[in-house]
Structure 1
């Protein structure tokens, strides 16, 4: 946690806020960057497209996430970031990030922690795609988002809004849309969870976590 002075300094470091329409690209792969982006409202996702037109969603970000903090030392991204919904973001020039980290150890640790948690989530997604069944991949994604959204007051153990399509879910879990639909139906028939009308309805969170082999430790929510 950071003190009030550091919190005020962080808020003051934002140069402006910007709104993006749903599905609009926020950061394009390879473009030179001189700023970082903090998500204030809505959902964004990171993605990478292959030459043959396939898409892999690499991360889903929720309000409070820096979506491209690693652009500060790297100066560009090797993937793109797009608005999933209509979003509002705060822009932090790299020069302001440099000043923040120079003046405050607490803010430096906060930004470092955010980047490390981002990497931990990425590793867990890699485990899902490489080692979990199709059913467990979807269950794990729902469990992760439930835990993260509950932390910021946008969900509870009974469900949460999720403005994704079934194609998005397929792209995030490495499944085909047809197989994704089949696994969603299986989870629904088992009485665990339903995904409809841009909302996840959770009927049995404990069993859903069991199916997913979900341990929230990698999210460092404590």
Structure 2
């Protein structure tokens, strides 16, 4: 169970501000939200399909994913989440969760009770629009992922996901020197996210390295040529709906 009660909302605020202007009063209200923190190891379920949570999960550190399973146990990763994201925000209005959320790396989580969020929205109605915007962006990302898996070649699929992660991490200040970031995702997990086999993912990553589009060092990824990587991934950032200052 969560153990500490501390305000840990700075990344959430930064993410909201990447596409929504907050007043000083709204920022203060977000900073004062009660947040119960919990550390989890990698590959742990955070929320399971069929759960009826009374709280939303805020990712403070690490990467998580949304996934579903076939009857045979095959996993399809449907979204990646980074610090500042609230992957189960829909649980505010959907009584039963229809997805699974799991950690991909060691994570620090912050749990915010539904009643506290509801009270926040009553007192600050504009924040309702801000969080609704986040939910709409999540839906936009789901649509883009459907196109990515269904119609792009493997080389473009992987390049596209790397482009997306760079901009999303940049929006919350987690990119070094414009183009270096942590990507704690295994090749097997990339395979589950792209509908490919781990062997195919390995070949694509090697091809991207050989073509000079990425440099990898353990979990660190460097993008030497952003424009070429975008072209390889057929990447148009419109679906992320980020402020132009973030996109660069």
Residue equivalent to 1:9: 29
- With 48-57 and 189-198 compared, the bigger mean Cα shift is at 189-198
Q: Secondary structure at 2:215's aligned position in 1?
A: strand
Cα displacement string for residues 83-139 of structure 1 (whole angstroms, at most 9, x for unaligned residues)? 112211221111112112222122101110110111111111011011111110000
RMSD in angstroms over aligned alpha carbons?
A: 1.4
Spell out, residue by residue over 1:29-84, the C-alpha distance to the aligned partner (whole angstroms, 9 max, x if none): 11111111111111111111212121111111111111100011002321111111
For 1:205, which of 211, 217, 226 is the aligned residue?
226
Shift of 1:158: 2.9
Match of 1:216 among 199, 223, 237: 237
Residue 56 of structure 2 aligns to a residue whose secondary structure is strand
TM-aligned CA deviation for residue 15 of structure 1: 4.1
Is 1:35 aligned to 2:55, yes or no?
Answer: yes
Structure 1: stretches of 5+ with no match in the other structure: none
Counterpart of 1:186 in structure 2 is: 207
Distance 1:6 1:158 in 2: 31
How high is the TM-score relative to the length of structure 2?
0.85
> Residues 216 and 55 (structure 1 numbering): CA distance in 2 closer, same or farther, change over 3 Å?
same
Query: Aligned to 2:109, which of 69, 74, 89?
Result: 89
1:164 aligns to what?
Answer: 185
Q: Which residue of 2 aligns with 1:114?
A: 134
CA contact (8 A) 1:184 1:195 kept: no
Indicate if the aligned counterparts of 1:36 and 1:91 stay in contact, CA closer than 8 A: yes
Question: How many Å separate the matches in 1 of 2:51 and 2:223?
Answer: 40
Provide the TM-score with structure 1 as the length reference: 0.95
Provide the residue aligned with 1:153 in structure 2. Answer: 173
CA distance in 1, matches of 2:231, 2:155: 12
Provide the aligned length of Structure 1 versus Structure 2. Answer: 222
Q: CA deviation at 1:159?
A: 2.5
